Amino acid sequence: MISLNKKDIATITNTNHIIKKYNFHLKKSFGQNFLVDLNILKNIVSSADITEETGVIEIGPGIGALTEQLAKKAKKVVAYEIDQRLIPILDETLQPYNNIIIINEDILKANVNKMIEEEFNGYEDIAVVANLPYYITTPILMGLIEKNLPINRYCVMMQKEVAKRLSGGPNTKEYNSLTIAVNYYTIPKIVLTVPKTVFIPKPNVDSAVVRLDKREEPAVKVNDESFFFKVVRGSFIQRRKTIYNNLKQSLKGVLTTDDIKTALKAVDIKENARGESLTIEQFAKLSNEFIKYVT
């Protein structure tokens, strides 16, 4: 075992000790920033409502600071770590816990559904809790959410600006197609803000923890889900452009300009409106109206 000055991994002294012992060089390409504030880690676990019946999926455990706190509360923790260099470190720092499984794999390529069937068979409560690598936060989050996995909630740390987008509302600068996609599947809420000063090394931006509770049914009913998201993404191609001009470009070859104008009028959306002014309900109505014109 590593000789730590305190029991918990997440202190500046212990984190620096581990880094020095293993001569570990943090890779910017992996978005490695280690959290060294125990109170924040405990607040993350608390915000995620982890109990002794919960199965937890963690992404990017680093040296195990959050993993350790999760293991104290959860029934089992399965952590995906892409960096092979961290595996022997995790084997040592997390040795006292018998309810942790470390998988050395890229979460974007992993068969998470198969893992859930094997490791969380019979579990009624499954949560994703993680300090997500900032450079691939959206692909990881949406990759999991869109698969409709048996995951009840997500409690994840990300850049503060991205967190604002997830929880933003219409007519705000943060509101975009990602906001709508996340709200379609989940109910997001910022539960914690995290200053950049509590990381080693210190990142350039502050962070926030967002909790996303999976909806029993999508937020709106749409006739064609993939087409709905095509319409949403197309409406935000250029924020300064009107929804009509954006859709004329994004749906070229799918709908005629007359079809777009007719559909907008049918659902009472003005041609000069902008994507950020529309609610998710309005996007659903528009998408369902467009379907009538698609041959």
Instruction: Check whether 26 is labelled as a binding-site residue.
Output: no
Q: From CA 133, how far away is CA 86, in angstroms rounded?
A: 15
> Nearest-CA neighbor of 137 among 112, 117, 166?
166
Contact 64, 137 (CB under 8 A): no
Report d(CA 219, CA 215) in Å as an integer: 7
Gap between the Cα atoms of 33 and 131, Å rounded:
9
106 is in an annotated binding site: yes
User: Does the annotation place 60 within a ligand binding site?
Assistant: yes
Count Cβ atoms within 10 A of the Cβ of residue 5 and give its class: 0-12 exposed, 13-18 middle, 19 or more buried: exposed
Q: Cα–Cα distance between 54 and 99 in angstroms, integer?
A: 11
Exposed, middle or buried: residue 17 (CB in 10 Å: 0-12, 13-18, 19+)? middle
Q: Where are the beta strands (DSSP E) in 19-148?
A: 34-35, 54-59, 76-80, 100-103, 125-131
Tokens of 199: 């990381």
- The reply to whether 33 sits in an annotated binding site is yes
What is the distance between the alpha carbons of residues 34 and 41, in angstroms, rounded to a whole number?
Answer: 11
**Residue 79 CB: number of other CB atoms within 10 A?**
26
Rg (C-alpha) for the chain, rounded Å, is 22
Whether the bond between 133 and the residue before it is cis, its omega within 30 degrees of 0, is no
Detail the residues annotated as belonging to a binding site for S-adenosyl-L-methionine: 33, 35, 60, 81, 106, 131
Residue ranges of the binding site: 33, 35, 60, 81, 106, 131
